[in-house]
Chain A
Amino acid sequence: MGLPRLRAAYALQILVAGTLVALLTALRFGSVGVSTGAMWHALLDLVQGGDEQSLAATLLALRLPRALTGMAVGGLLALSGALLQALLRNPLADPYVLGVSGGASCAAMLAIAAGAGAAAIALCAAGGALLALSLLFVLAHRALFARDAALDQGRDSAILLTGVMIASLCAAALSLALSLAPDGKLRTMVFWLLGDLGGVVSAGLAALAVACWLLLLVFGVRDAAALNLMLGGELQAYTQGVATAQVRRRLIALTAVATGIAVALAGAVGFVGFVAPHLVRYFVGANQRVVLPAASLLGAILVLLADTIGRSIAAPLQLPVGALTALVGVPVFIWQLQRP
């Protein structure tokens, strides 16, 4: 059937609870274990402004910024993926696959090479994402967005391939930069190719990232009803009262900013933006008012869990979160391609 199996309200409640559980799990597990009770105690202490000197408190101070960053990155990427899938009317769209993350990575690396600060890097990453995304939409325009466009479904794969080519171009530029980079900088630069949450982020910046995520999510959901109609094509949405061009421009900018922030924080983490909306639609249907927040929350959960596994499974070694999400994402992507 492919119709809602779960009431939307329940799905969102479950996902909010799931995000909190995933957050606590990320704090609790790692190369050094600590009991849930001790971690909970330390967390309460932190919230109340105390300065406890236990092992749990120390671990919390180390893990909380990373966990919050992971949560924001997952939420932002899944929101971007859900928006791209709806805007392009293609269930295979994802910021990583379509080269949006790649564009952000390239721009961020250029900014680093120029010696920019954290805020400027994030800004450049968002600019790079916007550039890659604009290129994609300009190339896709005739096929998808002319109001009397031929509704040729075969064009979908052309758009996807265009995105894949943009991604390849960005990967090539990054590889070139890597091969020219001094050995000492290699490790930090690999980060831009394959997402990693190992970079040191302050608690304040992490909290800001979470705030950005929630703000962008609210902006996205405000256009969800219009987006629902735009799924039915430009012609239908326009005649039903949606100013399609404006809504699309707004959401493209939103997607670029969301991807840019995520990439600035964690590099190009792949496939979260593809997998999360996919799983969500399976359970709650295609109503974007539900899909956008639900996918975003699920993305946060996925990245939190993937990073916790990456930190714990081969401790004291830390696996990059992007490698783990790709390991899960690629098989799901191929499975989706095979479906009729």
Chain B
Amino acid sequence: MTAALLACRAVGVRYGDRCLVRSLHIDIAAGERWALVGPNGAGKTSLLHVLAGVRPADGGTIDLAGQPLARWSVERLAGLRALVADRWIDPFPTSVLETVIAARYRLRGIPGAARTDPESEAIARQCLVAMDCAALAERDVRRLSRGERQRVALAAGLAQDTALLLLDEPISHQDPRHQVQVLRQLGQRTDRTIIAALHDINAAARFATHALLLAGDGSWQAGKSGAVLTQENLSPLFATEIIQIEVGAHRVFVSTGGVLA
């Protein structure tokens, strides 16, 4: 058994005076894909920010690549994990390609890596191709649709070249074709460990090897996605009746419209 890439021990997450996650224990090994599932306001984004080292945990310890998260410098951390948010700020006109290349900022300080090296541009273009936005390379990021802007942000996350990818609702603005395509492309990158907050349970079941359910009251449940993503767990989690149907080898979740008290 190799050491986990990301290890959480008794990690708490609070928002204001609400306790969202209480004493979280999980080990995430390299190559695993985790779906973060839970109702609105359950703390998915807050937990992603804590795991990214952007905000401190409210108690507990987090080890990333064998060292406490807080001990990594900002620059080294940028080489270990990338975070793709689901909102973007674009105050000035910038091309899509520039935005993706800029994600490789930390490489600037590494000797031998030129400031605008052709390698970075080549990698940026590959990542744009993977996210189906190669044709957008020269466009202004402010003139993109939300779905296109989201795929550009995902391409930038890939271009950062990190072992760990933290994705906040990566397909929230995608059409059905791109929902499938984006997650498939991400899933094929077996060198990446991915933690993604997902609202679409079916997408989560297809994409993830593991799942972490957050209820928002501090309780949580983690494990292999097949064992955790079940109608018995999901119905009370979302306080709405969800049933599972076997279609061939796949398991499909359907909301019946029934609301649970």
A241 cross-chain contacts in B, Cβ below 8 A: 74-75, 77-79, 105-106
Q: How far is the CA of A236 from the CA of B46 in the complex (A)?
A: 15
By the criterion CB–CB under 8 Å, are B91 and A231 in contact?
yes
Main secondary structure of the interface of A (DSSP, over half): loop
Whether A225 contacts B115 in the complex (CB less than 8 A), given A148-B49, A148-B54, comes out as yes
Sort chain A's interface into a size bin: 20 to 34
What string of 1s and 0s marks CB contacts (under 8 Å) between B75-116 and chain A?
Answer: 101110111010111111111001100110110100000010
Main secondary structure of the interface of B (DSSP, over half): mixed
By the criterion CB–CB under 8 Å, are B52 and A239 in contact?
yes
B103 cross-chain contacts in A, Cβ below 8 A: 240
A127 at the interface (CB under 8 A from B): no
Q: How far is the CA of A151 from the CA of B78 in the complex (A)?
A: 22
B189 cross-chain contacts in A, Cβ below 8 A: none
A2 at the interface (CB under 8 A from B): yes
The segment from A36-44, A265-273, A279-287, A312-320 that touches chain B is: A279-287
A242 at the interface (CB under 8 A from B): yes
Q: How far is the CA of A53 from the CA of B192 in the complex (A)?
A: 76
Sort chain B's interface into a size bin: 35 or more
By the criterion CB–CB under 8 Å, are B95 and A239 in contact?
no
Q: Within residues 274 to 297 of chain A, which ones have a CB less than 8 A from any CB in chain B? A: 281, 285-287
A1 cross-chain contacts in B, Cβ below 8 A: 93, 140, 143
User: Which of A229, A235, A243 has the most chain B CB atoms closer than 10 A to its own CB?
Assistant: A235
B160 at the interface (CB under 8 A from A): yes
Closest B residue to A151 by CB, please name it: B87
Closest A residue to B87 by CB, please name it: A151
What string of 1s and 0s marks CB contacts (under 8 Å) between B219-240 and chain A?
Answer: 0000000000000000000000
A-B contacts, 27 listed (Cβ < 8 Å): A1-B93, A1-B140, A2-B140, A3-B95, A3-B140, A89-B89, A89-B91, A91-B92, A147-B55, A151-B87, A225-B102, A231-B89, A231-B90, A232-B88, A235-B49, A236-B88, A236-B89, A238-B54, A238-B74, A239-B52, A239-B54, A240-B82, A240-B102, A240-B160, A242-B74, A281-B93, A285-B92
